[in-house]
Amino acid sequence: MAREFSLRFWGVRGSTPAPGAETLRYGGETTSLEIRAGDQVILIDCGSGARNLGRELVKGDQHKIDLLFTHTHLDHICGLPFFQPAYDASYEVRCWAGHFKDRCCLLDVVCRIMSPPIFPVAAETLKGVSFETYVPGDEWMLGDVKVETTRLNHPGGACGYRLTFEGRSLAVITDHEHGDPEIDAAVEAFVKDVDVMIYDATYTDEELPRYVGWGHSTWQEALRLSKKANVKRPVMFHHDPARTDDQLDAISAEVESRHPGATVAVQGETILI
Ligand SMILES: [Zn+2]
Ligand SMILES: [Zn+2]
């Protein structure tokens, strides 16, 4: 029998948390994904949703966690200082990032956000955490999971991931703006034939011209890319904080009618890959 390969959304928002009456159903927490592959735990990004994820993880018995960062904008790292396993020396939380263009590294960024006068607790208190840096294009094994990476088009850089486990595959492409021919071609090859693709659908095609250079894409582009690359299930992700539940319902109906199986990410939802 095939072992579990699943993805759970703990945060689906981009830019900043968006709690409130208009975001109750799709959720207001920022980027945080939990992937289970057999008994392995792999997380992607550590946005505000990671606070609740950490509270759940400490109830289990898996103490080895790999945390892959797409990049280090605040909406993707703001949950780390509130992620319970990170403070516990009985955990081994390995943090990975590959978007840095200069000599900066993940530890530098964490030290910056966890220092006075921004934050009361210092980064040295993260007893369970270690940091690894890679170069986009690198690939490696995490246990039985193959991890592949690619460069995305985003201010300051970002990396996409493709995880393969027992013949099934998941791609995470956020934060990314389409329109650079070289990067677009590389991303298309990177997600070719993938089973599930989580994609930056911050904007619509109609909105994008006002936000060129901000580093995000559209749900229409997610579907165009899925058609070209034979992606089975595209999932719209990194919702604009201003996008209401009703608007996301409308986008959900539209994507499903154009690409059967395509969905809009919902906080709390689990997808079996
Ligand atoms: Zn973001
Ligand atoms: Zn970003």
Query: What's the CA gap between 136 and 160, in Å, rounded?
Result: 8
Beta-ladder partners of 270? 8
Average of pLDDT values for 253-262?
A: 98
Distance, CA 21 to ligand 2 centroid (Å)?
25
Rounded mean pLDDT of 156-167? 97
Token digits for 253?
């109906």
> Residues with beta carbon < 5 A to ion ligand 1?
14, 75, 175
pLDDT at 104 over 90: no
Instruction: Provide the pLDDT confidence category of residue 1 given band limits of 50, 70 and 90.
Output: confident
pLDDT at 142: 97
Q: Is the pLDDT of residue 182 over 90?
A: yes
Question: What superfamily would CATH give domain 5-272?
Answer: Ribonuclease Z/Hydroxyacylglutathione hydrolase-like (3.60.15.10)
Q: Ligand 1 centroid to 211 CA: how many Å?
A: 14
Q: Mean pLDDT throughout 88-109?
A: 91
Q: What is the pTM of this model?
A: 0.97
Percentage of the chain beyond pLDDT 90 is 97
- Asked which of 46-60, 85-99, 104-118, 167-181 is least confident by mean pLDDT, the reply is 104-118
Q: With beta carbons less than 8 A apart as the criterion, state whether 175 and 238 touch.
A: yes
What is the whole-number distance in angstroms between the Cα of residue 134 and the centre of ligand 1? 20
Is residue 87 within 8 Å of residue 129, measured between CB atoms? Answer: no
For residues 59-71, average pLDDT: 97
d(CA 81, CA 113): 9
Ligand 1 center to 76 CA (angstroms): 6
- Cα atoms found within 13 Å of the Cα of residue 44, Cβ hemisphere only: 27
- Interval 39-48 mean pLDDT: 97
Asked whether the predicted pLDDT for residue 105 surpasses 90, the reply is: no
